[in-house]
Amino acid sequence: MDGIWVFLAVLGAPLLHAPVLRWDLLRALKVPLDGGATWRGRRLLGDNKTVRGALCMVLGCTLAAAALGAWPWWWDGLPRELRDAGPLLVGALVGAGIVLGELPNSFAKRQLGIAPGTQRRGAAGWAFVALDQFDLVLGVWVALLPVWVMPPGTLLLAIVLVTVVHLAINVAGHAIGARSAPI
């Protein structure tokens, strides 16, 4: 599928962010993105969406895209529009897309009274678990729009692949202590 390889840069986010979480590095940046703001008496995003996390996501993806860009098999597999944009911009947009994609889901969960890092039981809980796995794909799709319009087939394939890989990363993150729950 056209451009599916761009999602390989997403792996830079957990590769950088997991050790930062595990050893609580860059503590000065552990500031909530919402600044503690509330709406209807509830936090907008909660304490788990931080400046530190957003920066790690963007920087991790940027570094991953820069590294991947040196390998012709990856670089040549990208659409011309992404190659024209260059690996640093593509990586930064992918990272920004990850952050952007997570915000609506976090907002919805806070407004429904679901605490950060917890799950709701039942169908609604499983819907949030599913959305948590692929919300980044929707964010990346939006973030890349200024340079590339992802074909619908690529978007659908990315949702499936990223969901499977994200679940595996969550389980691994839990195993090393970077996550409180495996899913």
pLDDT tens string 77-90: 999 999 999 999 99
Question: Sign (positive/negative) of CA torsion 56, 62, 65, 67?
Answer: negative
Q: Answer whether residue 181 shows pLDDT above 80.
A: no
Q: Which DSSP category does 120 fall into?
A: -
Distances (CA, A) of 180 to 38, 64, 82, 149: 25, 26, 36, 36
Residue ranges of the domains in the chain?
4-175
Q: Answer whether residue 1 shows pLDDT above 70.
A: no
